[in-house]
Chains A and B, each alone.
Chain A
């Protein structure tokens, strides 16, 4: 087990005040104040950095920044640790300074430009040596100077393998992490996806489920199920349930098979602790616990699994003024501390507020892969997207071709691209096999032997690995057609099992792409007033002036436009209903006309004072607070279209968010005590999945009306309300 250096023993120079970096391009002068600004301007323009005000305004400014950056020595970067918003070096930054100082001394005087040339000229061993001397900030600074070919070349030299049951990252291999996520953690559905993935030669890296519910009991049950599937199929791999590290440690304590320990990382300590509820100390403890008690101790050389991706710090507003690539580099510096088995990059997952199109996503992925590999990490890549960005399947496929050329260790295997739980789109088993065939790659050796025995692959006389007779046939893992049928019936968005070579058969692709198209159309559809014409709405505007702004900056849709805010007056109603397209106008068209009459009937039957319903195009959930504050309604109910996923019908899914305003002193005190947040102003409940395939809108009208009455009666929402209701139910049971 790699020893962990105590945080206090890591030497970090004292922070320095910002310097001004000046440069000229022809007749234009440029000044960049502070390293953060310089680093931000030197990157390609990305949505997240634009929102943060860090991106260069034009190409010439960007090249000027790169020119200035290129001339800075590594020592210059070393001497200026970037600080948090309070001017302090946070724990993540400190960990990043745990580098090979002897190697650093040998390159300290190199400028970043010279380092770039050196890495392009030198052999792989020297790339790895240099990488061990770099902090995340240095790695990020470097990749901002590299073009696409250069990122591919440098990363390709920096191979990094890791061993658990299988040996991953060997030359000539490409592995996959099977991700059999199911929206309700249905074990049959998960089994179906595992069988489908294994049959396509997927899962040699890991079989890992993102749980829908992060409880010890549920995660433990999933772990045991995956363990059963792994052992019953005999597939040489390792398993993981990607819950919070605390949940996994609790599972480990009670003996569940936590073979690989997962956690999402962030590049700033405030994001890590406040949003991910994780500290460096906790990660240290987790690493040691797994080394001492993990079921793969003695088998695996590494057991930590981290997920990262550009933009998470920015979306939480906790990036400390650093751009997305720098934050990502800092994640890698933190990951390196634990000698991980795998690091998975999911840049593109968040949405258009960080990466709005293919170009931004592809370049960021190449940057991340290059940084991670250079810093000695076994990088797997998940170039992915959501339907409210402009990233496309084609862009994702271009990214994988480039990343495979760059030597990515593995990709995700999400069946037919569609993650049924997380409602985003990732690489598939078909993609992995396509890339293996195009680039002459094979799975991990232990897995390959098993797959050849099962007829999934055959080895040609020339050593080539070809698809075998059982490739893409999950029936081979089932006892009968009936078992396969039962498994299939538990899986949404399963458009067929037929294949054409390494690709899905055209019929399957057409169904899958049609679903994507319907979902995307829902995002870009305008609210059609004729559909909801029977409802006497008053219309308002948010700060998002158009769809582009709405999609790319979520904050705008949470604010009222100035002129609207100035016109709204306190009405003191019990309930204010707000209808917004959110991320699917189709959800409004298909649900509101049926739901709202039932809801209004229900509220009127209880003599609720109801404000005239508001229609707010381009809105977000948090708009509830702006409206609640302005109208001083007790409860603001936002009916809003959800982000479409891979199921066409589900692109019409709407949610009802109940924002209860804590305006009574005693109630607010109780809520503050309950939440631990003294500043709490609103409590939220939600009823989701309102659509024909989930909770039908007519029935949802009653469910929402009852929830409104519960909130108003108990003067509470969210978990506090549920606890009150639970106590009341227990008392009733005892009385009975």
Chain B
């Protein structure tokens, strides 16, 4: 049975009110991937997720809203971990995803989870023909890869929703995430 939206629900209001969902998802995905980059995929497969290069975090609301961009040039996320631990929210992340038959890097915004600037690793099956048939072949190939990517993002998001809505979320998963961040937060305290 699909969910019945209550009458008078305004889509834009609902979207605004629940923006935290995508932010929490990206935060969960990031910290969990830092602990172990391999996530269980569909049908016993494995999805490897790594956060790369750049994260955009945000704090405050309305006029007091400010953003901070964290770079990861030497695999050092200290600034990002501290910002997250202090309550900033991830609004956009740059990540790589590896799964069976797919390897790509992309930006993922928290507000839509619509993949952006997707760079798909080229395969040997790329069609070289510059004519209309080759053009159509490349198009279909790209669509097929994007369909796979969409399925992976959906799978990861559903995995997050299941743990996020579990009754033991505060005592189990959330505690694990907080414990992961603790050393970075402690390292920032004046000695």
A and B co-occur in one complex: no
Q: What is B's interface to A at a CB cutoff of 8 Å?
A: none
Q: What is A's interface to B at a CB cutoff of 8 Å?
A: none
